[in-house]
Chains A and B, each alone.
Chain A
Amino acid sequence: MSSSTIYSLHYFNGRGRAEATRLIFAQAGQKFEDLRHTQDEWAKLKGQMPLGQIPVLEFDGEKLPQSLAIARYAARKTKLAGKDDLESAKCDVIVDTMQEVNEAYYHAWFHIKDAQQKETEQTKFKSDTLPQKLTGLETLMNKFGNGTWAVGDNVTWADLLVFDSIQNVLKIDDQALEKHATLKKNHEAVKKLPNIAAYLANRKETAF
């Protein structure tokens, strides 16, 4: 990434849909403005964002919405998207599969208002969706990776996004990785990356 361009990541004060990009920047040692807006600040800014949503990555007078588009852009810029198009596609397969878990999690924990429906969806997530998708991710990592990294022989943004998502999963079921040797090894490997370890050591706990 250019050293003169300033990258500003707009989001709330939480991990949510921005943390994958923060992890990518951390791993790459890329400076960026980590803007965490309060609800009041956001109310004033909303009209300036293309879809009235955040995260948005702002740079060179441009605004890019959509968390995965942002993360993939950052990953490609910092060479964390695999060594060629096929590896990039394998990263995307893993990201898409993990994101299915994330969307189901957001839906069941944050979007549903009706208490009965919420309980039904959360139960379904824990008994069906999560086990099925984790098995799928284990299969994909075994096919695409080297036993440690999700794709190929090096860390990619797939490892970082999965790491962030699994942190939510472990809050729901702290034994979730026990049946999945590769996912567990991958999780430990990301934690040990020097730049990630340093980032996590300094990261403040947030509500989401």
Chain B
Amino acid sequence: MPSYKLYYFNVRSRAEVSRLIFAAAGEKYEDVRYEQDEWPAHKDEMPLGQIPVLEVDGVKLPQSRTIARYLAKQFHLAGKDNFEQAKVDAVVDTIYDLLNAFATPFFEKDEAKKEELTKKFLSEELPKHLQNFETLGKLYGNGGHFFVDNQLTWADLLFYNYIQSFMEFKADCLNNFPWLQQNRAEVEKQPKIAEYLKNRPNLQF
């Protein structure tokens, strides 16, 4: 059995999908959470000077998307064959496209401009992205409510985590997307996920 150590800050953000994967799989790992003032002392220990990093049997892997894909593969949450894994990857990449699009308003320094851009994004851009997710779910979901082949994969867990953050900004953003609402409900219902969600620290992002 390999030993896993996940290094990140004490936030959800880029590591939460991996924590959800461990939880869904019922697998143990060391969940290292650095405080902001602790991090500088450890920066040079990480290959790219960034976290999250997954250490597996002494090998350090940076890049949150890669970490999640690797863990999902180990725990059978990545899709059952190459093509299913590719469909999962396509959903995942579409989620990251949404995050990258939101970066512009999110990182705007001028407060007034930020508020304006964020409002515009949430009302005009976000629905287009959400429509894309519904399209993929209906195309690949094989009639079920998980994104790929009617089975839980890390695509569902990634979507669950990041839409939670968007719902902090706009609580009703999924109102016109029943399939997506159902998808999140299915994730929350999984017993090991429900247990994890009940016990995890309450973090805003």
Name A residues whose Cβ lies closer than 8 Å to a Cβ of B: 50-51, 62, 64-66, 68-70, 72-73, 76-77, 85-86, 88-90, 92-93, 96-97, 103, 136, 139-140, 143
Q: Is the interface of A mostly helix, strand, loop or mixed?
A: helix
- In this complex, how many residues of chain B approach chain A with their Cβ under 8 Å: the count is 30
Complex: A77 Cα to B83 Cα, angstroms: 9
Q: Mark B132-166, 1 if CB is under 8 A from A, else 0.
A: 10011001000000000000000000000000000
Chain A residue nearest in CB terms to B56: A86
Q: List 19 A-B contacts (CB under 8 A).
A: A50-B90, A50-B135, A62-B83, A64-B83, A64-B86, A66-B89, A69-B92, A72-B89, A86-B56, A86-B59, A86-B70, A89-B66, A89-B67, A92-B66, A93-B61, A96-B63, A97-B48, A136-B47, A139-B48
Q: A-B pairs with CB below 8 Å: how many?
A: 78
Given that A77-B82, A143-B47 are contacting pairs, would A93 and B90 also be in contact in the complex, using a CB cutoff of 8 Å? no
Query: A135: shortest Cβ distance to chain B, in Å?
Result: 9
Q: What 13 new A-B contacts, CB under 8 Å, besides A64-B83, A96-B65?
A: A64-B87, A64-B90, A66-B90, A68-B89, A76-B82, A86-B70, A89-B66, A93-B61, A136-B48, A139-B48, A140-B47, A140-B48, A143-B47
6 nearest A-B residue pairs (beta carbon): A69-B89, A73-B86, A92-B66, A66-B93, A89-B70, A96-B63
Complex: A150 Cα to B51 Cα, angstroms: 21
Q: Is the interface of B mostly helix, strand, loop or mixed?
A: helix
Chain A residue nearest in CB terms to B93: A66
